[in-house]
């Protein structure tokens, strides 16, 4: 039995390693193009190497689960095609015993993914942003990421609903008192066009279909005293000279470790006192979605292996093309739920942070049921 476990584990790890290298390379192609652009600017090879390495942990978060799924389908498809599964059963082995080394490896992979997704890749993506900013190549327009509150610009907090290159829609600009950190006014616009002037260190946003809210200076909490001004066009200027001079870069949601996300989730109301209750709940919901997506993705290798073992046996194919097609089909279904959770992350009433767990729970129970039947 020991030799059989070693044989299965060795066969599985070889296929898994090759698949992971190829898939990770495919995920880092975008980083390679950016590395070439950075090298063209005369940046040292050491900095370029760090930039490339910082991209690898994020790629591994996705390539490890896909590779685990592909390797399992291929190994058990080949074993079934060569009648090795039948021979093992004839020797008195159950499917649980045959599958045990692969399942054990999948648990180890899930543990590695959990640490990578929750700690390593958020830290390396944040380090990459700091590295890019230190090289002076980050475009200030890219700071205005859609679907989140941007606090990087001194004296402002900005929310962008949709963004397409330098055009934005559903934009909200809160003017913040830098001493008291209180909202002194807000601007809502249906659309806008952004233009960056790096020489002046200024980001200009021409807003259209504008509504300006001006609280009463003596009683800002009383909404009945708030004045409203409508305008067809309204320009604002954001100074990013101070922003570029800062050593630290404000962390985006993707750059936060699981512990930082947990802190923001617990203290959402305390941290966002300047926002209304609805916006605070949206921020909390988006943080919950991000945290649950990472944990669910980390546990996916175990779920994929449970599904792939019986599916690989029933396919009776040992060709890698069949394994790849089945892997892509399963991953497509899985990522639909990830996309759904992102789609509804601004609707806390739908509990979007639970959506990533649907394929995990269904896949694990489905895989155990199919394994029981195969046994």
User: What tens digit of pLDDT does each residue of 239-267 get?
Assistant: 766 555 544 567 788 888 999 898 888 88
| Proportion of the chain above pLDDT 70, given as a percent | 82
pLDDT recorded at residue 137: 44
pLDDT recorded at residue 329: 82
pLDDT recorded at residue 327: 74
pLDDT recorded at residue 219: 73
Cβ atoms of 51 and 132 within 8 Å: the answer is yes
Query: Is residue 197 predicted with pLDDT exceeding 80?
Result: no
User: Can you give the pTM of this predicted structure?
Assistant: 0.69
pLDDT recorded at residue 136: 46
Mean pLDDT of 124-135: 76
Query: Is residue 94 predicted with pLDDT exceeding 70?
Result: yes
Mean pLDDT of 12-32: 86
pLDDT recorded at residue 166: 83
What is the band of 18 on the pLDDT scale with cuts at 50, 70, 90? very high
Mean pLDDT of 16-42: 76
pLDDT recorded at residue 107: 95
pLDDT recorded at residue 351: 92
Q: Per-residue pLDDT tens for 31-88?
A: 776 666 656 555 567 777 787 888 899 999 999 999 999 999 888 888 878 777 778 8
What is the band of 163 on the pLDDT scale with cuts at 50, 70, 90? confident
Q: Per-residue pLDDT tens for 211-223?
A: 888 877 777 667 6
Query: Is residue 17 predicted with pLDDT exceeding 90?
Result: yes
User: Higher model confidence: residue 290 or residue 250?
Assistant: 290
Query: Is residue 363 predicted with pLDDT exceeding 50?
Result: yes
| SS3 readout for the chain | CHHHHHHHHHHHHHHHHHHHHHHHHHHCHHHHHHHHHHHHCCCCHHHHHHHHHHHHHHHHHHHHHHHHHHHHHHHHHHHHHCCHHHHHHHCCCCHHHHHHHHHHHHHHHHHHHHHHHHHHHHHHHHHHHHHHHHHCCCCHHHHCCCCCEECCCCCEEEEEEEEECCEEEEEEEEEECCCCCCEEEEEEEEEEEEEEECCCCEEEEEEEEEEEEECCCCCCCCHHHCEEEEEEEEEEEEECHHHHHCCCCCCCHHHCCHHHHHHHHHCHHHHCCCCCHHHHHHHHHHHHHHHHHHHHHHHHHHHHHHHHHHHHHHHCCCCHHHHHHHHHHHHHHHHHHHHHHHHCCCCHHHCHHHCCHHHHHHHHHHHHHHHHHHC
Least confident of 24-33, 122-131, 157-166, 304-313: 24-33
What is the band of 142 on the pLDDT scale with cuts at 50, 70, 90? low
pLDDT recorded at residue 271: 58
């Amino acid at each position: 039995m020991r030799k059989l476990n070693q044989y299965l584990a060795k066969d599985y790890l070889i296929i898994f390693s090759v698949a992971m290298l190829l898939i990770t390379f495919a995920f880092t192609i975008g980083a390679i193009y950016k590395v070439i652009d950075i090298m063209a600017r005369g940046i040292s090879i050491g900095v370029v190497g760090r930039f490339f390495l910082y991209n690898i942990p994020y790629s591994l978060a996705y390539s490890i689960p896909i590779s685990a799924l592909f390797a399992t389908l291929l190994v058990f498809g080949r074993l079934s095609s060569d009648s090795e599964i039948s021979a093992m059963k004839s020797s008195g082995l159950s499917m649980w015993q045959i599958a045990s080394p692969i399942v054990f490896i999948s648990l180890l992979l899930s543990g590695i993914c959990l640490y990578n997704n929750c700690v390593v890749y958020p830290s390396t993506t944040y380090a990459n942003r700091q590295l890019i900013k230190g090289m002076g190549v980050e475009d200030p327009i890219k700071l205005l990421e859609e679907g989140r509150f941007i606090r990087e610009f001194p004296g402002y907090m900005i929310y962008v609903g949709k963004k397409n290159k330098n055009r934005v829609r559903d934009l909200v600009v809160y003017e913040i008192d830098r001493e008291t950190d209180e909202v002194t006014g807000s601007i809502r616009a249906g659309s806008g066009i952004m233009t960056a002037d790096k020489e002046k260190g200024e980001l200009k946003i021409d807003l259209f279909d504008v509504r300006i809210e001006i609280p009463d200076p003596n009683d800002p909490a009383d909404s009945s005293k708030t004045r409203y001004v409508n305008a067809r066009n309204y320009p604002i200027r954001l100074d990013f000279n101070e922003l570029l001079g800062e050593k630290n870069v404000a962390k985006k949601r993707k750059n936060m470790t699981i512990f930082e996300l947990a802190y923001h989730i617990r203290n959402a109301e305390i941290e966002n006192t300047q926002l209304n209750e609805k916006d605070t709940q949206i921020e909390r919901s988006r943080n919950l979605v991000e945290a649950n997506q990472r944990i669910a993705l980390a546990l996916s290798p175990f779920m994929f292996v449970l599904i792939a073992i019986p599916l690989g046996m029933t396919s009776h194919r040992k060709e890698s093309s069949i394994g790849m097609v089945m892997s892509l089909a399963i991953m497509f279904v899985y990522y639909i739920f990830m996309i759904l959770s992102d789609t509804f992350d601004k609707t806390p009433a739908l509990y979007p942070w639970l959506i990533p767990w649907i394929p995990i729970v269904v896949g694990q129970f489905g895989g155990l049921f199919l394994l029981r039947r195969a046994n």
